[in-house]
Structure 1
Amino acid sequence: MKIAVDAMGGDNAPQVIVEGIEQARDEWDNLEFVLYGDQEKIKKYLKNDTRISIVHTDEEILGTDEPVRAIRSKKNASMVLAAKSVKDGENDALFSLGNTGALLAAGIFIVGRIKQVDRPALMPTLPVTNSSLGVNILDVGANAEAKPSYLQQWAVMGSIYARDVKKIDKPRIALLNNGTEYDKGDTLHKDAYQLLKNTEGINFIGNVESNNILAGVADVIVTDGFTGNAALKATEGTATILLSELKDALLNNGIFTKMGAAIVSPSLKGLKKMFDTSQAGGAVLLGLKSPVIKAHGAADAKTVFYTVKQINDMLQNDTINKANKYFEKMSTEK
């Protein structure tokens, strides 16, 4: 299996990408990698080119570029050529740390969506208090507006992903809402609730409120992209501020506080590990014909390694084709 890698995307490209890809290559001998980007910059960090090839590109999409315009105008950009290689069947999956909007555009307009999926959704993994598997939430920004049928499709794909990649036999699917009662929310959420409740093949457990996103009450949470993006950023921002304030309080309030900090240090390391999302990999753009994964622009080599693991699991389990077959069955039964 071959993975197309946008080697020029992200804050620390191509160094962390090359380092992470080499680690992944050494771990999984069934994978080959094609790195798209500036050949000289990539070779500077590449120690061993076994099962790693380079396609030289003289353009790259920047974080400041307007996504759709960049995809259409920068025909030789590393992300664009990597996406085209997946569309043409030369590679099996696409991985980038670059411009999120541009990757979404490349996924939709170049790789292409599954026929029965109206709108692809962006799905990251967030930490939870009682499990190392985390919770998947979708959509977190690919679609500002949604219909109940979109949320149904995302729930199905999220459930298949949780079974294949996270090895959860019966993933708990929840709808993000402003109350747990079935009749809470606006028309979208009320209609989505009824649709999810009657969707065959998923374990729908009802509504979940935003204060329980990290509580481990569900394995997959579905929502519209506007709400999901706001909830994601509020959660990440709160966690960052709390950890920063806790560190400041323990280290900058006198010798006795520092002594106390030394005593509770092992427990604090556990807390820090909980919020270390590198092992969760990247955010998956679900609903496309091939796996397309976006890792954070500031990701390190460890995150790149675990994102490759995530892609490998999707390819090994034929996750995309399972979603295809589900929706084909659904359409024939209507």
Structure 2
Amino acid sequence: MASTTARIAIDAMGGDHAPDEIVAGAIRAQAELGVEVLLVGDPQAIESSLKQHTSSSQMEIVPAEDVVAMHEEPLVSLKRKPKASINVAMDLVKQKRADAVVSAGHSGAAMAAGLLRLGRLKGIDRPAIGAVFPTLVAGKPVIVLDVGANVDSRPKYLEQFAVMGSVYSQYVLGMEQPKVGLLNIGEESTKGNDLAVRTHQLLEENPRITFIGNAEGRDVLSGRFDVIVCDGFVGNVLLKFAEAVGEIVLQILREELPQGIQGQLGTALLKPNLKRIKQRIDHAEHGGGLLLGVAGVCIISHGSSQAPSIFNAIRLAKEAIDNQVLARIQSKDFQGEQQSAASTTEE
């Protein structure tokens, strides 16, 4: 069966640097990744951004009349603005005119639009945002979920996050038998709050995953785990903290290495190494998080995303499409085991 070119709908109006940086990242992605890009938003503003580039003649623009601003309440705004760029982008996926959505706009609006426009996958109670972090083991990333979709969670939600994260880790990140951990304050199964204790039992009993126990904060980036689950409140704090640490490390390197002639010579010699360091710890290199659990591929990028981050977000979307993440999550075996586990829990 011949492969088809992935079509990615980009919310060109979402984010602090829209539309210029969004358009720049999309142009690069279309040229280097072989994807087809649909730029959704104000045609005049998008065309103005496109004119800054010479290789943009094949970019398709899909008009949208409005945008959900960062300060607006998601559900109210989505209903009040049915032609907002994020709504139009989600509709393109629903209508099969696009295979994925990428947005650096209001993350709450992107999640709500995904749920309202696309719906949940069968057998999934709540979607989760999965973020990929580097670890101490080169070439062995860890996916953490949820990092913001659900401030409050139930044990069965975290169990579903573990299964979805395992599918992503195996088929996109290349981990043959992903090791799952539950973020907690101690290694013992009795540690933590009620949510942690009850979730630990569910994860232990689930045959669909390889659960190896609790993960403490120091374990997240150790490389011991491939998938770590937590509720969205804790996960979002962890995400923002990790991003800040990465930025601080990069800033320290910029400030300290060039000191004096010897420092400048050392910096020149270390340039390839520094580039690899940046690729491993800079959150812009990862593009954003995949909204797992909705019936469409959705990448939620940082509001401050610039062109490199948008490029990487589109790359994430393409990888999810190419590796059939949605089909694998909603496969019959997955649903059967999930429903069985849920029934056992409720009993």
Please report the TM-score for the alignment, with normalisation by the length of structure 1.
0.90
Conservation of the 8 A alpha-carbon contact between 2:9 and 2:102: yes
1:296-321 CA-to-partner distances (Å, cap 9, x unmatched) read: 12222222222222111211221111
Displacement after TM superposition at 1:109 (Å):
1.6
State the alpha-carbon separation in 2 of the partners of residues 154 and 188 from structure 1: 14
2:317 to 308, 311, 318: 311
2:136 alignment partner in structure 1: 129
1:115 to 108, 114, 122: 122
- 2:203 matched to 1:204? no
Displacement after TM superposition at 1:201 (Å):
2.4
Describe the shift of the 1:26–1:133 C-alpha distance in structure 2 as closer, same or farther (beyond 3 A): farther
Report how many residues are paired.
328
1:6 alignment partner in structure 2: 11
1:160 alignment partner in structure 2: 167
State the alpha-carbon separation in 1 of the partners of residues 154 and 197 from structure 2: 11
1:139 to 125, 140, 146: 146
Per mean C-alpha deviation after superposition, the further-off stretch among 46-55 and 102-111 is 46-55
Identity %: 36
Displacement after TM superposition at 1:237 (Å):
2.8
- 2:282 matched to 1:276? yes
Conservation of the 8 A alpha-carbon contact between 2:279 and 2:285: no
Displacement after TM superposition at 1:269 (Å):
5.4
2:31 to 22, 26, 29: 26
Displacement after TM superposition at 1:164 (Å):
1.6
Displacement after TM superposition at 1:100 (Å):
0.9
1:98 to 68, 90, 105: 105
Per mean C-alpha deviation after superposition, the further-off stretch among 78-87 and 300-309 is 300-309
Per mean C-alpha deviation after superposition, the further-off stretch among 160-169 and 267-276 is 267-276
Describe the shift of the 1:242–1:308 C-alpha distance in structure 2 as closer, same or farther (beyond 3 A): closer
Displacement after TM superposition at 1:249 (Å):
5.7
Please report the TM-score for the alignment, with normalisation by the length of structure 2.
0.87
State the alpha-carbon separation in 1 of the partners of residues 9 and 62 from structure 2: 10
Displacement after TM superposition at 1:44 (Å):
2.3
1:188-228 CA-to-partner distances (Å, cap 9, x unmatched) read: 11111111112122121111111221222211110011111
Describe the shift of the 1:263–1:129 C-alpha distance in structure 2 as closer, same or farther (beyond 3 A): farther
Which letter maps to 1:187?
D
1:110-153 CA-to-partner distances (Å, cap 9, x unmatched) read: 22111211111111112222223422111111111111111110
Which letter maps to 1:110?
R
State the alpha-carbon separation in 1 of the partners of residues 280 and 319 from structure 2: 22
- 2:43 matched to 1:39? yes
3-state SS of the aligned residue for 2:72?
Answer: coil
Conservation of the 8 A alpha-carbon contact between 2:208 and 2:337: no
- 2:63 matched to 1:56? yes
1:43-64 CA-to-partner distances (Å, cap 9, x unmatched) read: 2233445653111223111112
Displacement after TM superposition at 1:287 (Å):
0.5
The alignment's C-alpha RMSD in Å is 2.2
Describe the shift of the 1:269–1:331 C-alpha distance in structure 2 as closer, same or farther (beyond 3 A): closer
3-state SS of the aligned residue for 2:65?
Answer: coil
Per mean C-alpha deviation after superposition, the further-off stretch among 151-160 and 56-65 is 56-65
1:239-273 CA-to-partner distances (Å, cap 9, x unmatched) read: 4345445655667xxxxx54564465326555444
State the alpha-carbon separation in 1 of the partners of residues 80 and 303 from structure 2: 22
Conservation of the 8 A alpha-carbon contact between 1:165 and 1:310: no
State the alpha-carbon separation in 1 of the partners of residues 90 and 326 from structure 2: 16
1:254 alignment partner in structure 2: none
State the alpha-carbon separation in 2 of the partners of residues 59 and 187 from structure 1: 43
2:89 alignment partner in structure 1: 82
Displacement after TM superposition at 1:178 (Å):
0.3
State the alpha-carbon separation in 1 of the partners of residues 330 and 58 from structure 2: 30
3-state SS of the aligned residue for 1:231?
Answer: helix
Conservation of the 8 A alpha-carbon contact between 2:39 and 2:62: yes
3-state SS of the aligned residue for 1:45?
Answer: helix
Per mean C-alpha deviation after superposition, the further-off stretch among 51-60 and 270-279 is 270-279
3-state SS of the aligned residue for 2:212?
Answer: strand
Which letter maps to 1:312?
K
State the alpha-carbon separation in 2 of the partners of residues 79 and 297 from structure 1: 14
State the alpha-carbon separation in 2 of the partners of residues 220 and 209 from structure 1: 13
